[in-house]
Structure 1
Amino acid sequence: MKIQHQRSQAIDVLRGLTVALMIMVNMPGTPETTYAPFLHAVWHGLTLTDLVFPTFMFVVGTALAFTLEKYEGMGEAAVLKKIFTRTALIFLCGFLMYWFPFISFDHGVSMIPFSGTRIFGVLQRIALGYCAASLILHYSGEKGAWVFAVLALFGYWALMAGFGDYTLEGNAQRKLDLLVLGEAHMYHGEGIAFDPEGILSTLPSIVNVLAGYFAGRLVRRLGASYETIAKLMLAGAVLAAVALCWSSVFPLNKKLWTSSYTLIAIAIDLGVLSLLLYVIDLRGRRGWTYFFEVFGRNTLFIYLFSELLATLFFINQIDGLSVFDWIYQHVFRPWAGAYNGTLLWAVVYMLGCWLVGYVLDRKKIYIKL
């Protein structure tokens, strides 16, 4: 079986598009003045924003399709060192991002205590998903990955149904995180201690990475062809049908990362990738792609930069307002209005992060986490 080794421009654009959207939805201003597609579903349901993170996991998998084969010729010890080193680095960056800026000035100068720092989060889930998918594929191959995906999705459903319910307060994921992590190390944005990137829901998120791997593998094997697009779209249609049927008993829920949500996100990712393959590779419409390729070339670094800069904007104040809120209220809202001002500020912030990526790309600097 002949495998193509060139990278896919469509996959690079999908990666960049995901980062651009992730930055925008993380900087929405207040929920009261944010358009609904740029907010997460309150609990059950699905919005555009709910698709961003699983797509990030998906494109981690597509990258594996192009890099894992290179690992195999390095020897067992070197492969494991590569996987675990990258996992540890990404996980540590995510943890330090939540601990940042490390020092508090509220009552004099003091170190922000580790005891109140969130342990799991976005980069941590990416790290664990990358690690698990790499090890599964390395040791059990594609057949083992299929078996794991089925067991993970149905096993997660069984655990969630058997040890809790599907509410914010009573779900099994929260119970396990409280037991293992403790309330102080969990996310509190829902009003109570509940981590949407907790321990148990990491299990189905690995399936998003594996799905990305299989999609990337298909693109490598068949290239950007009508056959590739047809197979991706057919797989997406089947998964969407299964997901919608499953959602009647295991609802679509990003914060619980339910199995039905996993499948619908994969189905949509396959559809978007198919569209990009058609437009970019088959129709040759490439004039617009460079913008997203910039994001795709320093993906994790640009995301990390965007989060750290946002933290600085929120903890520093002007006239009693955070820098973020002051800019929104004094620069964008007066002339663009509440909702459009919020959206425009998110776009401008995203473009500022893009400019950092553009400078790095022009200087041929690629920071790999």
Structure 2
Amino acid sequence: MTIQQQRSQAIDVLRGLTVALMIMVNMPGSPATTYAPFLHADWHGLTLTDLVFPTFMFVVGTALSFTLEKYQGMGEAAVLKKICTRTALIFLCGFLMYWFPFVGVDGGSVSMLPLSGTRVFGVLQRIALGYCAAALLLHYSGAKGAVVFALLALFGYWALLAGFGDYTLAGNAQRKLDLLVLGEAHMYHGEGVAFDPEGILSTLPSIVNVLAGYFAGRLVRRLGASYESIARLMMAGAVLALLALAWSSVFPLNKKLWTSSYTLITIAIDLGVLALLLYVIDLRGQRGWTYFFEVFGRNTLFIYLLSELVATLFFLFRIGGLSVFDWVYLNLFRPWAGTYNGTLLWAAVYMLGCWLVGYLLDRRKIYIKL
């Protein structure tokens, strides 16, 4: 069965939309000044923000549906080198992002920040591992092997969490494994205790999001932007949504644990959004608005990394005792837009600043691939 060579504009727009949302949800301030959809669920539950990262994993998979075909004419050594090099580069960028700015100032003296307190896992690291696992699975075991892995990963992860802990912040098996392997100093502390939402064990079900993106991308390439492809995407999404909601009664929807029910519901939503974009963009031909998101989709990982590094500097440097981030919000946005709208507008303006960088790169045909 032949695979079409043209890229779907809907897939590119989905990628760009995901990056735009990811930048925005990473910028808002405290829960007291942020609209609920732009915050993660406290623990169990689902918000708009909880959909962003798994969609990022999903679009990594859609990209694989194009790149894996290019590997077929390469020797095994070249394929392994390509996959492992890209994995290492993305993982290293994520690690260095958490170590950034590399130096600290204490009492007027400058010293290197110790690696002993640097977080090991995170967003880019999970993207790297998800890409690597999915690429190797699909290259060496094909679609059937990937489906078998997905089933084993989802049910195996459920068994591990149920058998070696509970579904609480303090008692889950993921935290126990990370404490054992990584140590408390190398974990995320934003939950009040050492707990990493991008830890070792929950990487397992996140790979399924990448595989789902691959199969969706392959379907669109094979059938094109047609009513048949839209119908299949929507039917698959509906089935997965029903399974996720049923499963959530015993294995709750939880982004921070990346539960199996959460994996399925996020894939279901991504399939529905992709189907909608195919209909609006490719079938109805409504493309006047798409370039904005295509800019984000053309330098995806670079723009995300840039947004995180600049945000770190905004929180690091201070004006009148306030971080630059807080000073801008308190002096330029909150006085006229209000508490919640000011936070939202500041995040939107920051996202637009990142878009401008992407636009300038696109105008010059510069595409930075990690």
1:125 matched residue in structure 2: 126
SS at match of 1:109: strand
Amino acid at match of 1:317: R
Amino acid at match of 2:234: M
**2:66 paired with 1:70:** no
**2:238 paired with 1:247:** no
Q: 1:2 deviation in Å? A: 1.5
Alpha-carbon separation, structure 2, partners of 1:222 and 1:75: 29
Alpha-carbon separation, structure 2, partners of 1:4 and 1:67: 13
Alpha-carbon separation, structure 2, partners of 1:59 and 1:224: 17
Alpha-carbon separation, structure 2, partners of 1:245 and 1:18: 27
2:92 matched residue in structure 1: 92
Q: 1:31 deviation in Å? A: 1.5
Deviations, residues 310-357 of structure 1 (Å, cap 9, x unaligned):
000000000000000000000000000000000000000000000000
Alpha-carbon separation, structure 2, partners of 1:187 and 1:284: 44
TM-score, normalization: structure 1?
A: 1.00
Q: 1:106 deviation in Å? A: 2.5
2:311 matched residue in structure 1: 310
1:43 matched residue in structure 2: 43
SS at match of 2:7: coil
Amino acid at match of 1:58: F
Amino acid at match of 1:325: D
2:157 matched residue in structure 1: 156
Structure 2: 5+ residue stretches without partners: none
2:301 matched residue in structure 1: 300
1:359 matched residue in structure 2: 360
Alpha-carbon separation, structure 2, partners of 1:54 and 1:43: 16
Q: 1:206 deviation in Å? A: 0.1
Alpha-carbon separation, structure 2, partners of 1:53 and 1:277: 21
Structure 1: 5+ residue stretches without partners: none
Q: How is 1:101-116 mapped onto 2 (pairs within 5 angstroms)?
A: 101-107=101-107, 108-116=109-117
Alpha-carbon separation, structure 2, partners of 1:7 and 1:296: 13
Q: 1:213 deviation in Å? A: 0.1
Over the matched positions of the two proteins, sequence identity in percent amounts to 87
Amino acid at match of 1:302: I
2:232 matched residue in structure 1: 231
SS at match of 1:110: strand
SS at match of 1:105: strand
Alpha-carbon separation, structure 1, partners of 2:44 and 2:163: 19
Q: 1:126 deviation in Å? A: 0.0
Deviations, residues 262-310 of structure 1 (Å, cap 9, x unaligned):
0000000000000000000000000000000000000000000000000
SS at match of 2:155: helix
Q: 1:29 deviation in Å? A: 1.6
Alpha-carbon separation, structure 2, partners of 1:30 and 1:186: 21
SS at match of 1:63: helix
Amino acid at match of 2:8: S
SS at match of 2:106: coil
Q: How is 1:1-369 mapped onto 2 (pairs within 5 angstroms)?
A: 1-107=1-107, 108-369=109-370
TM-score, normalization: structure 2?
A: 0.99
Alpha-carbon separation, structure 1, partners of 2:322 and 2:90: 32
Alpha-carbon separation, structure 2, partners of 1:98 and 1:80: 27
Write out the 4+ residue segments of structure 1 that deviate beyond 6 Å after TM superposition: none
Amino acid at match of 1:251: P
Amino acid at match of 1:151: L
Q: 1:36 deviation in Å? A: 0.2
- C-alpha RMSD of matched pairs (Å): 0.4
